[in-house]
């Protein structure tokens, strides 16, 4: 079992109504898990949003909390509902309806990593799945919910920025003949999870930095944006996907030569996004 569910970095003074979170950048792979998988230590990391936490870890410097996962996505997916259990992997689980994510092996306890490569030889006991959810999933989401509630109490609204990365191959397979490949995909569940003005401002922050931006295709957001995005109640959730190939060597899973420059670019974007919801005078005071 990973040592802790998450790491939380709080600003000295919370000046922002924005909460940043990175649910897929965890890389604490317990020995017990590595001994279960049939994959090598590089392949098991292929679903990980490697180094995304390092791209956004400046958020507290701009008055915004930053919550990041410790457990790896291949072990437990924090961007899934706790009841998205895969009957093809978990013993004693019955299929209820059709869930495309679960059917493809990407439930809360994933059966596969990128390109559909199986993680295990056989099934896992239900007690194993329940233990992971109790020790990893529940503490993370309890803390995220608490952060959003506290932020809403301070500012009258809260804006969740859920930070992810997307493999180049995913873009190649879904956007073969649709023009220039986006470097950033913003997901708002097609307008359901956040106020349009906030989505537009996030898009402008990335576009002004020179990055190609698309919305909702091929990633519109999953459990986190769907569950926490309640714009009518003053709670907004926006997913950000960044093309991994612009900052890392995807095969070796290590930062590439452009990583320092991309991280510097993201610092300016994070500073801008952290000022969402502030009026002109407040934005100047926050700078």
Q: What is the pLDDT of residue 169?
A: 76
pLDDT tens digits for range 52-107: 999 999 999 999 999 999 999 999 999 999 999 999 999 999 887 788 999 999 99
Alpha-carbon radius of gyration of the chain: 18
Pairing mode of beta strands 248-249, 254-255: antiparallel
| Domains with residue ranges and CATH for the chain | 6-76+139-286 (3.40.630.40)
Q: What is the pLDDT of residue 181?
A: 87
Q: What is the pLDDT of residue 287?
A: 54
pLDDT tens digits for range 43-52: 999 999 999 9
Residues 197, 209, 160, 151: is their CA dihedral positive or negative?
A: negative
Distance CA 48, CA 281 (A): 40
Could you list the beta-strand ranges (E) of 167-234.
184-187, 213-215
DSSP state letter for 232: G
Scanning the structure block, which residue is given the tokens 């009026």? Answer: 279
Pairing mode of beta strands 66-69, 6-9: antiparallel
**Cα–Cα separations (whole angstroms), residue 85 to 2, 108, 226:** 20, 6, 18
Residue 282 has pLDDT above 60, yes or no: no
Residue 204: both structure tokens together = 């402008």
Peptide bond into 218 cis (omega under 30): yes
Distance CA 165, CA 145 (A): 22
Mean local confidence (pLDDT), 110-130: 95
**Selection from 24, 116, 45, 55 nearest residue 246 by Cα:** 55
Return the C-alpha torsion angle 174, 175, 177, 179, nearest 10.
170
Scanning the structure block, which residue is given the tokens 């995220």? Answer: 144
pLDDT tens digits for range 165-216: 999 876 766 666 667 889 999 999 999 999 999 999 999 999 999 999 999 9
Longest CA pairwise span in the chain (Å):
59
pTM of the entire structure? Answer: 0.94
Mean local confidence (pLDDT), 22-50: 96
DSSP state letter for 22: E
CA angle 51, 53, 57 (to 5 degrees): 130
Tell me which of 283 and 257 has the higher pLDDT.
257
Distance CA 137, CA 217 (A): 27
Residue 285 has pLDDT above 80, yes or no: no
């Amino acid at each position: 079992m990973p040592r802790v569910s998450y790491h939380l970095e709080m600003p000295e003074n919370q000046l922002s109504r924005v909460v940043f979170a990175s649910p897929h950048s965890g890389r604490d792979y317990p020995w017990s898990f590595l001994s279960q998988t049939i994959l090598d230590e590089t392949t098991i990391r292929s679903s990980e949003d490697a180094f995304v936490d390092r791209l956004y870890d400046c958020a507290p410097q701009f008055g915004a909390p930053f919550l990041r996962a410790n457990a790896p996505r291949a072990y437990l997916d924090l961007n899934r509902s706790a009841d998205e259990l895969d009957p093809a992997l978990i013993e004693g689980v019955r299929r209820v309806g059709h869930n495309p994510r679960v059917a493809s092996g990407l439930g809360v306890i994933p059966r596969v990593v990128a390109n559909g490569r199986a993680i295990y030889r056989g099934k896992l006991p239900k007690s194993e799945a329940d233990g992971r959810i109790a020790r990893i999933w529940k503490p993370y989401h309890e803390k995220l919910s608490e952060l959003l509630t506290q932020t809403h109490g301070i500012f009258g609204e809260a804006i969740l920025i859920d930070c992810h990365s997307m493999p180049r191959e995913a873009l190649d397979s879904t956007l073969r003949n649709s023009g220039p490949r986006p470097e950033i995909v913003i997901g708002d569940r097609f307008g359901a999870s956040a106020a349009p003005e906030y989505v537009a401002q996030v898009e402008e922050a990335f576009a002004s930095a020179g990055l190609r931006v698309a919305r909702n295709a091929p990633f519109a957001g999953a459990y986190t944006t769907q569950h926490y995005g309640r714009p009518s109640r003053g709670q907004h959730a926006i997913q950000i996907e960044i093309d991994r190939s612009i900052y890392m060597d995807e095969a070796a899973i290590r930062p590439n030569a452009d990583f320092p420059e991309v991280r510097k670019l993201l610092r300016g974007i994070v500073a801008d996004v952290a000022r969402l919801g502030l009026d002109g005078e407040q934005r100047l005071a926050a700078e």
